[in-house]
Chains A and B, each alone.
Chain A
Amino acid sequence: MSLQAVLPDTISGLLGLEGILGDVVGGLVGAFLIANIMLIMTAFAGPWAKRKITAAFGDRIAVNRIGPFGLLTIVTDAVRLLSKELIVPEGVDRPAWDLAPMVIPFSALLGFAVIPMGNGIQLADPETGLAFAFAAASIASLGIVMTGYASNNKFSLIGALRAVASNIAYEIPLVVTAASVVIFAGSLRMSEIVAVQAEPLLSVAGVTIPTWFAFVNPFAFALFIIANLAEVGRNPFDIPEAPTEIVAGFQTEYSSVYFVLIYLGEFIHIFLGGAIAATLFLGGPAGPVLPGFVWFTIKIWAFFLFTQWARSAIPRLRVDQFLEIGWKGMLVLSFANLVLTAIIVGVIV
């Protein structure tokens, strides 16, 4: 039961193609479109928005020389980074060392396949959409382990170990918290989760507040956002990178194109985290006046802004404290949330 035609069908319909050919062409064109939308967003986020945002927090101006508001820095940075020498250190474990920079952005992009972005932009809408999104996102940890192990560098190794530890500790609360939403929505299908949230919760002075799960269960939302910060590795949980401790951890040995790919992957990952949070808790692409896709973009950028804010203002935890919070705090709270939600839903609904 799909509420709306997914993007590949729309494309093949427009092109007048049918059958397998229509599926293949529609799927490829759709994937190409979505991947490019995300890459463009990352291009804005990485070289430009990140600098501007952190500069604003630190009372600075940042890039403003090339193009309006320094926007052409995106182009010059791309040229700069791509024209650098790709240094392959002695003793790296190939091909793992070469594959890892591809695994990281690829896994994050894959997650977007099931995210409804509004205006019918959604590549696929399987029944297990949410599970797919989490599965795809967590492949990135595999990439990080590959980078850390294959780099033949002790700092990278420590970084990779930290990444694994943090992923295990925080992925469980993340998924369990998401499960509480699934109990509400009664489905793992992304489009249905969004549809359920469109119903009005209550009306205050003519303004209707929808049943976004962030309003229904703010506690779960907070848990999810915290676990998500850990998942995308930003302060106070940026311990896999921790430049002042382990010199950028797993990415120490990467340069040039490979570095760009890892960097890109991290940003897409932040956006994916924002997209999942928006879909589960903020009504997906829903919002007044503006078209759905614009709202969706605003929401994931809001999450990006939040990660940058945390990065500028919050100290990093020590690795043992970080794991302690994960296992003793987040895990317990997320299960409590799940059980409570289940009871409430069971009694009321």
Chain B
Amino acid sequence: MPTSKDNPVSQSAEPVFRTADWHEREAYDLVGIQYEDHPDLRRILLPDTWQGHPLGLDYDQDRPQIATLREHANPLEGDHRSAGDSNTMYINIGPHHPATHGVLHVETVVDGEQVVDLDSDIGYLHRCEEQMCQQGTYRHQIMPYPDRWDYISAGLLNEWAYARTAEDLADIEVPEYAQIIRTMGAELCRIASHMIALGTFALDVYGDFTAIFMYAMRDREIVQNILEDLTGQRMMFNYFRLGGVVWDLPEPREEFFEKIRDFIDELPQALEEYHDMITSNEILQARTVGTGVLPPEVAKSYGATGPVARGSGIDYDLRRDDSYGYYDELDWDVVVEDGCDNFSRLLVRMREVEESAKIIQQCVDLLEDWPEDERNIQANVPRTLKPEEDTEIYRAVEGAKGELGIYIRADGTDKPARFKIRSPCFSNLQTLPEMSEGEYIPDMIASLGSLDIVLGEVDR
């Protein structure tokens, strides 16, 4: 909803969609919009002592931030408050905790072992990604950043989010051959990402570095090697370009295809092993079935997407519902489980690995038979992109964690005027209190693991 620059006040959408809570706090924090009737309009990413709203147009970057020691001698003061009544205990889970998957700080009030109240404190990993993207040119300088949002091997999926947005903004048609390579690379990333989600979830439930975690890492390593062959990098791929990809498949191509085929052929066996060790284990079922319940309406209200939404029975996958790349030409299924609990989120990820393998298989078949003189990896893109003033665009792709969207407003220059990232983890993490209040601490930890958040993407 547009607001005036002089009086940036809007109405809160929180009563309608719970997800607006955090998103409005973020807009308040970074841009400085006030929301009427918002239940809890605090800063979310920046420290409480921050002065000004850094993405606002009138923000002065050169003004020093002065927070006096007298007023802020103990920055943790709020974290040591007593829980009020003597039956409950206030504990800080994180920011340094083995199971928070990064620097997440969960302010928890427990009654014995049961979680009474819970509030996620994020922003420890805020790196001004949006602002950095606003300072880069469309053509080349933005593409390296998406790799750093969800840095757990989902790089190509993130790059695609930017590529899709900018290509639609500038009307660039991507060659079919490049789309197939993109699709294959993205699905490899999805497998790698789901493998680590699986491993760390097992880690949270099993405790310590157990066999299943190591197995998942071992199999992910193979994907990682394939991606390294393809992109030359293991983590910060920077492989996509506007209008295509940076280079063709590595030579000798047969060897590369062989490597992928070997992996795909051995995958069912590996998954069988995982099912033996995880999903058919009775103790794990006792731990995960019926815990961390997220009903479909609640999931929708919080804007949960990706495996979290599909684990709650919501049949929503952008690869099919807003198709891009080469997905609509291929034969694959959207995985949905309607258990709504930790177990079904785990199952969704395991089955999605199978679907991704199917997609990769078909991509490899297509790429193998592609005529040599038609291997066009890059469309013609102008050296400088200058979209018209005040054009706006929002495009999203199905990242490993859910709907990863990017909003760009152009101002006629070669750099975006506003670059907003809609991070799936950010919305998914909001569901944590719904899933864990009233549950035991171990179940809260398991629910957090089943959300599969990456703090790099939550905080950006």
Contacts of A316 on B, CB cut-off 8 Å? 205-207, 283, 287, 442
CB–CB B211/A57 < 8 A = yes
CB–CB B206/A315 < 8 A = yes
CB–CB A59/B218 < 8 A = yes
Docked pose: A238 CA to B218 CA in angstroms: 26
CB–CB A246/B441 < 8 A = yes
Q: How large is the interface on B (under 10, 10 to 19, 20 to 34, 35 or more residues)?
A: 20 to 34
Whether a CB of chain B sits under 8 angstroms from the CB of A67 is no
CB–CB A314/B206 < 8 A = yes
CB–CB A315/B205 < 8 A = yes
Specify which of A60, A155, A242, A314 is in contact with B442 (CB 8 Å cutoff): A242
CB–CB B443/A318 < 8 A = yes
Total count of chain A residues near the partner, CB < 8 A: 29
Specify which of A154, A313, A319, A320 is in contact with B211 (CB 8 Å cutoff): A313
CB–CB A312/B441 < 8 A = no
Specify which of A60, A315, A321 is in contact with B281 (CB 8 Å cutoff): A315
| A238 and chain B: residue at smallest CB distance | B207
Q: How far is the CB of B345 from chain A (nearest CB, A)?
A: 16
Q: Mark B202-214, 1 if CB is under 8 A from A, else 0.
A: 1111111111011
Specify which of A58, A238, A315, A319 is in contact with B209 (CB 8 Å cutoff): A58
CB–CB B286/A244 < 8 A = no
Q: Which of B403-453 contact A (CB under 8 A)?
A: 440-443, 445
Specify which of A54, A242, A243, A315 is in contact with B283 (CB 8 Å cutoff): A315
Contacts of B98 on A, CB cut-off 8 Å? 243-244, 247
Whether a CB of chain A sits under 8 angstroms from the CB of B27 is no
Q: Which of B183-206 contact A (CB under 8 A)?
A: 202-206
Whether a CB of chain B sits under 8 angstroms from the CB of A341 is no
Q: How far is the CB of A52 from chain B (nearest CB, A)?
A: 14
Whether a CB of chain B sits under 8 angstroms from the CB of A235 is yes
CB–CB B210/A313 < 8 A = yes
Whether a CB of chain B sits under 8 angstroms from the CB of A245 is yes
A242, A247, A318, A319: most-surrounded residue (chain B CB, <10 A): A318
CB–CB B287/A243 < 8 A = no
CB–CB A58/B445 < 8 A = no
CB–CB A312/B113 < 8 A = no
- Interface of chain B: mostly helix, strand, loop or mixed: helix
| B96 and chain A: residue at smallest CB distance | A247
Whether a CB of chain A sits under 8 angstroms from the CB of B99 is yes
Q: How far is the CB of A151 from chain B (nearest CB, A)?
A: 14
Q: Mark B83-110, 1 if CB is under 8 A from A, else 0.
A: 0000001010000011100000000000
Q: How far is the CB of A324 from chain B (nearest CB, A)?
A: 10
Contacts of B205 on A, CB cut-off 8 Å? 244, 315-316
| B92 and chain A: residue at smallest CB distance | A154
**Given the contacts A244-B98, A244-B203, A245-B441, A315 and B287 also touching, CB distance less than 8 Å:** yes
Q: Which of A158-172 contact B (CB under 8 A)?
A: 158
Docked pose: A334 CA to B227 CA in angstroms: 55
Contacts of B284 on A, CB cut-off 8 Å? 315
Specify which of A60, A158, A235 is in contact with B206 (CB 8 Å cutoff): A235
Q: How far is the CB of A51 from chain B (nearest CB, A)?
A: 10
CB–CB A321/B286 < 8 A = yes
Docked pose: A320 CA to B208 CA in angstroms: 21
Whether a CB of chain B sits under 8 angstroms from the CB of A39 is no
Docked pose: A245 CA to B444 CA in angstroms: 9
Contacts of A247 on B, CB cut-off 8 Å? 97-98
| A242 and chain B: residue at smallest CB distance | B207
Specify which of B215, B283, B442 is in contact with A245 (CB 8 Å cutoff): B442
**Given the contacts A245-B442, A246-B441, A317 and B283 also touching, CB distance less than 8 Å:** yes
Docked pose: A315 CA to B282 CA in angstroms: 9
Whether a CB of chain A sits under 8 angstroms from the CB of B366 is no
CB–CB B215/A313 < 8 A = no
CB–CB B206/A154 < 8 A = no
CB–CB A155/B277 < 8 A = no
CB–CB A59/B442 < 8 A = no
**Given the contacts A244-B203, A316-B205, A311 and B210 also touching, CB distance less than 8 Å:** yes
Specify which of A154, A312, A317, A320 is in contact with B210 (CB 8 Å cutoff): A312
B97, B99, B205, B210: most-surrounded residue (chain A CB, <10 A): B210
Docked pose: A32 CA to B130 CA in angstroms: 66
Whether a CB of chain B sits under 8 angstroms from the CB of A30 is no
Docked pose: A236 CA to B97 CA in angstroms: 21
CB–CB B207/A320 < 8 A = no
Docked pose: A312 CA to B202 CA in angstroms: 11
Docked pose: A291 CA to B209 CA in angstroms: 37
Q: Which of A289-315 contact B (CB under 8 A)?
A: 311-315
A245, A316, A317: most-surrounded residue (chain B CB, <10 A): A245
Docked pose: A272 CA to B432 CA in angstroms: 42
User: Known pairs A158-B441, A238-B207, A313-B277. 5 more at Cβ < 8 A?
Assistant: A59-B211, A154-B91, A241-B207, A246-B441, A319-B440
Query: Lowest 6 A-B CB distances belong to which pairs?
Result: A58-B214, A244-B99, A57-B211, A312-B211, A315-B284, A315-B283
Q: Please list 12 pairs of residues, one from A and one from B, whose beta carbons are closer than 8 Å in the complex, sorted by A's number.
A: A155-B91, A158-B441, A235-B210, A245-B207, A245-B441, A247-B98, A312-B210, A313-B211, A314-B206, A314-B281, A316-B283, A316-B287
